[in-house]
Amino acid sequence: AGARVNFYAPTAFFTQTPPVVKTVHQTIGDGRLFRSPQILPPMVYVAPDNPFAVPSDHVMWLYRWKFEVLAKYLAAYYQIPVIFHEDYDLLAQKHLMTLTSLIEAMSWERRLPLLSAGAVTLILAPDALSVPGVEQIATIPNLGKVPVFLYANNTAAHRLTFVTQWKMARSDDEALGLMLSPGYDPRQHVVLQASQTSSLWSFLHPVQRQRAAFVAPRECEEPVDAVIKPISATTLSASYAVSTNCEGYLVFADPVYPGWHVTVDGQETALWRANYAFSAIFLPTGTHVIRRYYRPQVLLLGMVSSLLVGGVLLLIASTGWLRPPSKKM
């Protein structure tokens, strides 16, 4: 399609996959990519004696450069999961965007625990990083010859992590303070907050009316042995088999959002807000089947509304209320 619009560009300009994509796919594992907003586009050279004589195709090459450094949503275009990126349509989860704003204003040392809580296993940045736990794995070639490096974050939590150490936060500020305190490691710790649900949603969903009981941390008497095995996964649901010799919390490094539910052995359980923008459930000792699925509030509202309207129409039809009066001869 691009070649038909711009006749000066070769077809490969639009169809060739940038080298960074293959490298990311090979190294990202089950995590996500964080692309630093500090990766800025190259300047177009302008002759000093003619400030208006810019190359006629400079916009075309600028867009190709964006492909090569996965700007905007281009990582998702290549099926690379990303997090903490710019919210272009203002539809992102608010707590996640708060973390994004904080991350952009912090040094890399301060950023790392927050990135790790979001399961960021790869970092794309123009900076030469020297941070414990971060390892450079590639230099990304690009037309603009802008220094761009790909780093592996060896401190990242998995998308699904079982932890046995947790603390309860009573406010967002307290939760952020705990996550930024020395010693916080999302691979071992979780900061919990009570989930907030609307009164209407609580009325329609009895499980959400039950406030999850906070379990005080208890030290495991033996080394923690937790095994998580995926069973199935679709866009709207995922199932896992989890075996653990200690009680703890199963942390989902996916943004907490109304409509997501979790069952343990077929019984729905209460969700906690975890690590400020994510979610978690309490899990007792033993082997369990976990299912996480999406059933939004509007779906239940639509079903209830449809049943009510259908019942009213059926009542009207059965009573003949709207039937025209018969004509007498």
Indicate whether 102 belongs to any domain. yes
Strand partners, 32: 120
> 52 pLDDT exceeds 60?
no
How does the average pLDDT of the chain come out, rounded? 83
Residue 29 lies in a domain: yes
Residue 205 lies in a domain: yes
Phi, psi of 33 (to 5 degrees): -105, 135
Q: What is the pLDDT of residue 2?
A: 47
In a domain, 308, yes or no: no
**111 pLDDT above the threshold of 80:** yes
* pLDDT value at residue 272: 95
Residue 200 has a pLDDT of: 46
pLDDT digits (tens, 9 = 90+) for 59-82: 677 778 888 899 888 898 899 999
Write down which residue in 153, 179, 208 finishes a domain. Answer: 153
Q: What would the pLDDT profile of 141-198 be if each residue is shown by its tens digit?
A: 887 778 899 999 999 999 999 999 999 999 999 999 999 999 999 999 999 998 765 4
Question: Please, what is the end-to-end C-alpha distance for the chain in angstroms?
Answer: 71
Question: Percent of the chain having pLDDT more than 70?
Answer: 76
Residue 201 clears pLDDT 50, i.e. is over it: no
**Residue 309 covered by a domain:** no
Residue 146 and residue 201 share a domain: no
Q: Which two tokens stand for residue 193?
A: 């907050």
Where residue 299 falls among pLDDT bands split at 50, 70, 90?
Answer: low
**β strands within the chain, DSSP E:** 32-35, 120-125, 134-139, 149-153, 160-163, 165-168, 189-194, 226-233, 237-244, 248-252, 260-264, 267-269, 272-274, 278-283, 286-294
- Same domain assignment for residues 141 and 164: no
Q: Which of 92, 120, 153 is the last residue of a domain?
A: 153
Counting Cα atoms < 13 Å in the Cβ hemisphere of 249 gives 32
Residues 62 and 119 grouped into a single domain: yes
Those residues whose C-beta lies under 8 Å from the C-beta of residue 201, and which sit 6 or more positions away, are 208, 258, 297
Q: Which of 17-31, 108-122, 245-259, 308-322 has the lowest mean pLDDT?
A: 308-322
d(CA 230, CA 159): 12
Q: Are 153 and 120 in contact (CB under 8 A)?
A: yes
Residues 187 and 142 placed together within one structural domain of the fold: no
pLDDT at 155: 97
pLDDT number for residue 288: 97
- pLDDT tens sequence across 230-266: 999 998 999 999 999 999 999 999 999 889 999 999 9
> 223 burial class (0-12, 13-18, 19+ CB within 10 angstroms)?
exposed
Q: Same domain, yes or no, for 72 and 30?
A: yes
Residue 30 resides in a domain: yes
Residue type, 300: L
Same domain, 90 and 131: yes
DSSP 88: S
Is residue 56 located within the same domain as residue 83? Answer: yes
Nearest of 76, 279, 59, 263 to residue 271 by alpha carbon: 279
Q: Which residue has the higher pLDDT, 315 or 113?
A: 113
pLDDT for residue 93 = 87
Q: Are 143 and 164 contained in the same domain?
A: no
Residues 173 and 260 in one domain: yes
Residue 67 lies in a domain: yes
Cα–Cα distance between 99 and 93 in angstroms, integer? 10
Structural domains in the chain (count): 2
- Domain-embedded: residue 34: yes
- Please check whether residues 134 and 185 belong to one and the same domain: no
Pick the last residue of a domain from 137, 153, 169: 153
Q: Which of 81, 101, 79 is nearest to 172 (CA)?
A: 101
Residue 307 — very low, low, confident or very high, per pLDDT cuts 50/70/90? low
Together in a domain, 165 and 270: yes
One domain, residues 193 and 77? no
* Closest to 97 in 3D by CA, of 115, 106, 85: 85
Which of 61-75, 271-285, 300-314 is the least confident region?
300-314
- Structural domain boundaries enclosing 229: 160-298
pLDDT band at 41 (very low <50, low <70, confident <90, very high): confident
